[in-house]
Structure 1
Amino acid sequence: MKKVSNVFYITVALIALTVAFGVISPASFESVTNNLKAFVSTTFGWYYLLLFAIFLVLALFIAVSPYGKIRLGKDTDRPDFSTATWIAMLFSAGMGIGLVFYGASEPLSHYAIDPPSAEPGSGFALKEGLTYSYMHWGAPVWAMYGLTALALAFFQFRKGEPGLISATLKPIFGNRMNGPLGVLIDVLAVFATAFGVATSLGFGAVQINGGLNHLFGMDIGFTSQFIIIAVVTVLFIISAWSGLSKGIKYLSNTNMVLAVILLIAVLLVGPTLLILNLYTETLGMYLQNLLQMSFRTAPLGSDNRGFVDGWTIFYWAWWISWAPFVGMFIARVSRGRTIREFLLGVIVVPTLFGSFWFAAFGTTAASIQDAGTDLSSLATELVLFNMFDQLPFPLLLSIVAILLIASFFITSADSATFVLGMQSMHGSLTPANNVKLMWGVAQSAIAILLLYVGGLQAIQNTIIIAALPFSFVLILMVVSLMKALKAEKKRIEIGTRR
């Protein structure tokens, strides 16, 4: 492994120590993560909220500004992938498993158990629950991903820098990014990526376990989830071995086909008219109230602070921990696009698709809840499959959902091994297969550890903690990007005058 960087060895050592701590003393691990998570949520909640609001405003500004004409690459470069395949790839890497895991359960929880401010079970609670689901998976998230990916793509394809987080900070720190400071930045990025992706692998294993239990009676528990992760690990390593233009491309297109089929099926067999009416109204509510929701810290005792901590802060931390992975992957597949085309594509398309997904699945779950079948009391991973039981063709819907989860699972892990390999080999666009293999095993080991020491709660605690230090790196990346864009625009104007 002659091209492997120090980032690989340092990060693997840190991950090994974390995994060993969790295995040797799971009770202590859970206690430590619980305490740290409570501290971060309470102390830095306002910071996370402010950060995402600023990212959204800044991303939209860049998209419509003169910077939007700059191409991510040489002026003669054109996109490597078709627009449809590009959207499928960024969407699959970005949040595929989560949409299936939370598509029905999150709006249902906001409606029936813990609305942000409304009375549980009321009509306004359903509308409010849908709008918050749109926000948690919509524009602020994809703006953050977009800025991260934009910085990486701009410096890599326009300026010829390696595909490393540290390389995006050279306008601020100069050649110091080639030394220990740069290594530290990249270690933070790789560490956050490994735990962020492991979170989704844990969610995917839990929901596949729930589906197989519902259909075939498979026991729900750590042993079953361990077997699921082991099987899927083999599959995504095989895919990773085949390369970016084959494995990930084909899987991403498969994901989108399965997702659209499932979405249309739920729309048609669910309360179709109610879904369409609620989506139209709640999309308007979302656009009207996005700023207010983005800044909602719930500072007073009567404001339901638990909702903000348990949902919004958790999501913002989760997305930050995914930022280096999703950002690097989106950057890698976006060469040749203009900044305007890139940002509008990254922000608008996934936001519209994701919001309609939540409208279809959330409205259907709420309707079934109102009809007398209590879905809200079920574990999160079982809500979707019990909802299908109340619709026509339940077996077929459940099988398609399990296939979709497994496909998203493989794609996310496959994409992550590629990105982690890049970061471990000085930003190489073709990381060695043996390095990708090691990262594939490491991601799965982290997911298994988190499930072993505390299930979903341990997963949530860990990502909130891991995201905090990397959030400061994101701020520096955005500052560096703006400085570089300003210089590039000036260079283009001088060249044009000549």
Structure 2
Amino acid sequence: MVLYLSVAIIAAFVLWGLLSPAGLGAAATAAVAWTTSTFGWYYLLAVLGFLLFCLFLAFSRYGKIKLGRDDEQPEFSTLSWFAMLFSAGMGIGLVFYGVAEPVSHFLTPPGGLTPGTPEAARAALKYSFFHWGLHPWAIYSVVALSIAYFSFRRGEPTLISRTFRPLLGHRVEGPIGKTIDVLAIIATVFGVAASLGFGAVQINSGLNSAFGLTIGTSSQLVIIAVVTVLFLISAMTGLSKGIRLLSNTNVILAGLLMLGVFVFGPTVFLLDTFTTSVGGYLQDLINLSTRLTPFTGATWVGGWTIFYWAWWIAWAPFVGLFIARVSRGRTIKEFVLGVLGVPALVSFAWFSIFGGSALNGALAGETAVTEATSADISTALFALLEGLPLGGVLTGIATLLIASFFVTSADSATYVLGLQSSGGRKEPSNPVKLTWGVMQSLIAVALLLSGGLAGLQSASVVAALPFSVIMIGMCVSLLKGLKSEFPASTPVKPQGLVPARPPSDGPQPQP
């Protein structure tokens, strides 16, 4: 039922985009304008709440609870764990915005700062850190923790709906639970499709820089078709083979690209930039987390922060379930500190190196990157690389990295969508994964035809709103489940576990 209903809704959207792209584009623009103007405050407070909730769990008595049996060990090594969660959680977006976002903020800074000044450069990196730092990983952590706890410790099927067992009881198996799973699937499809669209656009820019391939919708549609075949092949090989191998490859390629820009760029300046920007980010964290502009009516927050928070929420069912799947056997404290801390630090280093190099050149009067960003943000990275020694080699590595991230994100999402629409089966059937792989790509095509990058952004913002309410419910349900492990008479030691069984055996009774 969940599979058929989800496919029907998404297929209707695809047909709308293919038959009337202008109509879909106009509707998406109106919907996102209403969402950001009406619920901007809600997105900011909700995401800040998710971050505080995760930190509370990590440093409370619940931090010692394992996501699995008490004697269970992690399935994947720490390095592979970091590689997979980072590749699935950021991937294409980090490469796409690594140069483009800081330069965009530098040219159009928030808060009335003068464009093109050192103050604008400092603010540009601080806001980039904010958008890619602790908050998005807190969003992922809420979903991942809930799924991992109820699936691996309580024996529930690996479904979003089953995390509501303490609140809904047996109703999680009925229409309410199926509605929750359908909403999670829809949010996932639109969030991932937006990233696939971004990836296709930037691969097009990389091939244009390296080989002169024409930049346009036709080229991007061919790129989507080719990469769809690649990620479907990877998805069919399973989690432990294709996805893990590609994730480790991503880390190597990303490391080579970062090292190249760090060595050939203004190295000392980049080290200073990283230190200063991390300090500014941590110092202003609460102020950044609650910043709106009701007195000036400025749209900067809606176009950047609200879009990002909605995008991360749209990705949360996919990334959260995937992170849960690869995090079995870790304690809650280990999970939160690992998922929040390590990827955030890597993101800070990424923006310091790529964004810092671009801003250093812009402050020195170089215009190649700023002009490229103003004309087409998908070309910003390649404009930076072309100005460095071995620029051609770095461009090739960047293009391969984007393609690899594209494949990793898509095949991870294909696995998760198959799992969600197959009743929580650990390994969905190949026909189901094939269906979702093709559907994701068709959504990306429909969004590109209807509105380009703006259409991709709009779909994420609108699809995330209903799932954000589900995430708040997940927090309440998880806390209730964790409290049941500590009877009032023994507040320190967790209660004994119910032995975990495969999802097909059905839910375990509450302790």
Structure-2 change in CA distance of 1:495 and 1:339 (3 Å): closer
Give the Cα–Cα distance (whole angstroms) in 2 for the partners of residues 433 and 66 of structure 1. 42
CA contact (8 A) 1:149 1:330 kept: yes
Q: Which of residues 204, 210, 218 in structure 1 aligns to 2:213?
A: 218
Give unmatched runs, 5+ long, in structure 1.
1-5
Query: 1:156-180: CA deviations, max 9, x gaps?
Result: 0000000000000111111111001
Question: Partner of 2:507 in structure 1?
Answer: none
Alignment partner of 1:485 is 2:479: no
Distance 1:195 1:489 in 2: 39
- The whole-number CA distance in structure 2 between the counterparts of 1:131 and 1:14 is 39
Q: Does structure 1 retain, via aligned residues, the 8 Å contact 2:72–2:329? A: yes
CA, structure 1 residues 115+495, in 2 after alignment: closer, same or farther (shift >3 Å)?
closer
Contact 1:67 1:489 in 2 (8 A): no
- The answer as to whether partners of 1:368 and 1:387 remain within 8 angstroms in 2 is no
Give the Cα–Cα distance (whole angstroms) in 1 for the partners of residues 17 and 415 of structure 2: 26
Q: 1:130 to 1:333 in 2, by over 3 A?
A: same
Say whether the 8 Å CA contact 2:29–2:458 is kept in structure 1: yes
Indicate the residue corresponding to 2:503 in structure 1: none
Q: Say if 2:79 is the partner of 1:84.
A: yes
Q: How does 1:325-340 map to 2 (within 5 A)?
A: 325-340=318-333
Cα displacement (A) at 1:121: 1.1
1:199 corresponds to which letter in structure 2? A
* 1:45-124 alignment runs, 5 A limit: 45-124=40-119
What TM-score, normalized to structure 2? 0.94
1:3 aligned partner: none
CA distance in 1, matches of 2:82, 2:313: 20
Q: Cα offset for 1:494?
A: 7.2
* 1:263 is the counterpart of 2:225: no
Query: Which residue in 1 is equivalent to 2:502?
Result: none
1:384 corresponds to 2:377: no
The alpha-carbon deviation at position 374 of structure 1 amounts to 3.7
**What SS does the aligned partner of 1:251 have?**
helix
> How far did 1:198 drift?
0.4
CA distance in 2 between partners of 1:381 and 1:34 (Å): 21
The answer to whether residue 367 in structure 2 is matched with residue 373 in structure 1 is: yes
Aligned-pair distance for 1:495? 4.7
- Contact residue 109 and residue 115 of structure 1 kept, 8 A: no
- 2:204 corresponds to 1:209: yes
Please list the CA deviations of residues 82-115 of structure 1 after superposition, one character each: whole Å capped at 9, or x if unmatched.
0000000000000110110000010111112334
2:401 to 380, 404, 409: 404
Measured in 1, the distance between the counterparts of 2:360 and 2:387 equals 10
TM-score by length of 1: 0.97
Q: Which residue of 2 aligns with 1:306?
A: 299
2: CA distance between counterparts of 1:26 and 1:105? Answer: 27
Identity among equivalent positions (%) equals: 54
Rounded Cα–Cα distance in structure 2 between residues aligned with 1:101 and 1:195:
18
Distance in 2 separating the partners of 1:49 and 1:221: 35
CA RMSD, aligned part only? 1.2
SS of residue in 1 equivalent to 2:310: helix
What are the residue-to-residue correspondences of 1:106-145 with 2, within 5 Å?
106-145=101-140
2:316 to 323, 330, 338: 323
Partner deviation per Cα, 1:145-165 (whole Å, 9 max, x = no partner)? 111100000000000000000
User: In structure 1, which of residues 460, 465, 476 is the aligned counterpart of residue 462 of structure 2?
Assistant: 465
Summarize the alignment of residues 1-40 of structure 1 with structure 2, pairs less than 5 Å apart: 6-40=1-35
Distance 1:265 1:218 in 2: 25
Q: Deviations over 1:374-410 (max 9, x none)?
A: 4222311111111111111110000000000000000
Of the three residues 404, 416, 419, the one matched with 1:419 is 416
Q: Of 355, 359, 366, which aligns to 1:362?
A: 355
* Separation in 1, partners of 2:102, 2:366: 17
Contact 2:234 2:411 in 1 (8 A): yes
Give the drift of 1:124. 1.4
